[in-house]
Amino acid sequence: MTDKNKLLRLQGDIEEIRNRRIQQFVLVCILLLVTLSIVAVLSAQISIMVYMMICVVLLCGTLLLLRRGQTTLASHIILAVTLFCIFQSMWDGSGLRSAAVIAYPAVLLLAMVMVGTRSFYVVSASMLLYIVILSVATMNGWRTGTEATRGYLTMIDHLAVLAASTFLIRVLASDLLLLLARLRQELVEVEQSKLAAEHLAYHDNLTGLPNR
């Protein structure tokens, strides 16, 4: 195996680990959605079961994309499906008091680490906008059969918490990505040094020809 092939193999191993983590996240989401779908059927909430199963199908599709190496497309679909599930759960549930709000920081971290900075800002803006829409819909009675909230006070509270979480996750994720990039570079440099040492051990320093 040539030096170049060894370096490419090292980079491929790092990318494989990243894809494996994404696949594990998708499998957990699928298991969770299937469980919630069963609960929805038992509760006679057929509409909720339908959109959850659609999300399961989309997530299964991302597994195929990941196997084909289309990580970027798969990551965007995963983020979109995750956001849709959270938004729909809040709309059908207790609005801003829904437990789905807890998932916001995790999704932000996922967007930053898995996709990139641009997706992080898109997801952040989507969350903030949806909180405003949800609050207005609740106060005007556009959502039926849900628990009333404290109106603008609740909206301001959630926006403040989400804004603070967004800033904190942005800083932490940036540091994490920087450390990972440095670690990757150091691994490549170590591998290059190792290959250079092996070359010097078995080749002549002046001619570069293999030793006899």
pLDDT in tens, 12-52: 666 676 777 788 888 888 888 888 888 878 877 788 888 88
Residue 137 falls within a domain, yes or no?
Answer: yes
Q: Tell me the angle at which helices 152-202 and 3-42 cross, rounded to the nearest 10 degrees.
A: 150
* Cβ–Cβ < 8 Å for 104, 89: no
Higher pLDDT pick, 86 / 55: 55
Residue 48 falls within a domain, yes or no?
Answer: yes
pTM for this structure?
0.67
Residue 76 falls within a domain, yes or no?
Answer: yes
Higher pLDDT pick, 145 / 22: 22
Cβ neighbourhood burial of 17 (10 Å; 0-12, 13-18, 19+): exposed
| Amino acid making up residue 61 | G
State residue 183's pLDDT score: 75
How many residues are listed for the chain in this entry?
212
- The yes-or-no verdict on residue 150 having pLDDT over 60 is no
Q: How far is CA 196 from the centre of its chain?
A: 38
Please choose, from the candidates 96, 86, 85, the residue with its C-alpha nearest in 3D space to the C-alpha of residue 131.
96
- The yes-or-no verdict on residue 58 having pLDDT over 90 is yes
Please choose, from the candidates 31, 66, 72, 23, the residue with its C-alpha nearest in 3D space to the C-alpha of residue 52.
31
Higher pLDDT pick, 21 / 158: 21
Please choose, from the candidates 120, 119, 114, 110, the residue with its C-alpha nearest in 3D space to the C-alpha of residue 18.
114
Distance CA 148, CA 143 (A): 9
Residue 207 falls within a domain, yes or no?
Answer: no
Residue 139 falls within a domain, yes or no?
Answer: yes
- The yes-or-no verdict on residue 71 having pLDDT over 60 is yes
Residue 212 falls within a domain, yes or no?
Answer: no
What one-character DSSP code corresponds to residue 121?
H
Q: How far is CA 21 from the centre of its chain?
A: 10
Residue 210 falls within a domain, yes or no?
Answer: no
Q: Which backbone phi and psi does 129 adopt, to 5 degrees?
A: -65, -40
196: containing domain: 3-202
| Amino acid making up residue 11 | Q
Distance CA 114, CA 133 (A): 27
- The yes-or-no verdict on residue 56 having pLDDT over 80 is yes
Q: Encode pLDDT of 90-117 as tens digits.
A: 887 777 777 677 778 878 877 877 777 8
| pLDDT band at residue 2 under the 50/70/90 scheme | low
Residue 209 falls within a domain, yes or no?
Answer: no
Number of domains in the chain: 1
State residue 182's pLDDT score: 73
What value does the CA radius of gyration of the chain take, rounded to a whole number of Å? Answer: 24
Share of the chain above pLDDT 70, in %: 69
